[in-house]
Amino acid sequence: MNQKRVACITGGARGIGFGIAQALAREGFDIVIADIREESAVTEPVFQLTELGAKVLYCQADVSVAAARATMLARIRETFGRLDVLVNNAGVAPAVRADILDATEESFERLMRINLQGPYFLTQSVARWMIEQKKADPGFRGAIVNISSISATVASTGRGEYCISKAGVSMATQLWAARLGEFDIPVYEVRPGIIQTDMTATVTAKYDKLIAEGLLVQSRWGQPGDVARAVAMFARGDLPYSTGQVVFVDGGLNVHRL
């Protein structure tokens, strides 16, 4: 069995996910990246992680597909023989931002499968494996971290399906924290705000204006590294008695002001 702790980050080849993978590689984890891109397209991210000292397994996997999730976990077992941390980061925005009076069922179903259903059942499979590891080794320190969004509670009527999917992720955090408590496997949630990634590139001008007008307490875009620091804290085990907790990484957007 692999002696180093192993972390799996879904959607880990770019953006927030890659920032998390880098942070955990620096913490001494070996890394599993799950992403939908062809392996040939992730050569550079994988190289950067190996330069940080991690052994890296890349799994091309769509988390919304049960068979792909099962194949990925089988490969992790075969390669490392263990999995210590799961970061459910993979997610998508609507292909078209549409008013909720006009949005389609197809878009709603797509986001639920990728953003909520896939991570929920991936967590189920990983939780079973973590329980198995805990029973075999009482010193096993597992953890699950869900990356949700401020959209879990902040309504955006131009992307209602995204908001609902992230609200579901937030409840999933509470459910899995409650269920896995008896095994001392904590489950956490990191709730990013306006983070500079490919997903937000199409609305840069909108958010530049809002930030300049005082939307945030800390007047800047968030970076993937900001989210990654919060995940690293949970992965290290810095808050072992805080299962189910949410950390906002949003520049103070959730602070109510007059």
Concatenate the DSSP letters of all residues of 110-172 into one string.
Answer: HHIIIIIIHHHHHHHHHHHHHHHHHHH-TT---EEEEE--GGGTS--TTSHHHHHHHHHHHHH
- Quick one: tokens of 92? 């998508």
What pLDDT is stored for residue 1 in this prediction? 76
pLDDT of 42-74, one tens digit each? 999 999 999 999 999 999 999 999 999 999 999
Quote the pLDDT of residue 38.
95
Q: Which one of 58, 162, 188, 241 is the catalytic residue? A: 162
DSSP-assigned letter for residue 188: E
Beta carbons within 8 Å of 241's beta carbon, 6+ residues apart: none
The model's pLDDT over 69-119, given as tens digits with 9 standing for 90+, comes to: 999 999 999 999 999 999 999 999 999 999 999 999 999 999 999 999 999
Look up the CATH architecture of domain 6-248: 3-Layer(aba) Sandwich (3.40)
> For residue 18, what pLDDT is reported?
98
Residue among 220, 140, 230, 229 nearest 180 (CA): 140
User: Is residue 58 annotated as a catalytic residue, yes or no?
Assistant: no
The whole-number pLDDT of residue 54 equals: 98
User: pTM of this prediction?
Assistant: 0.97
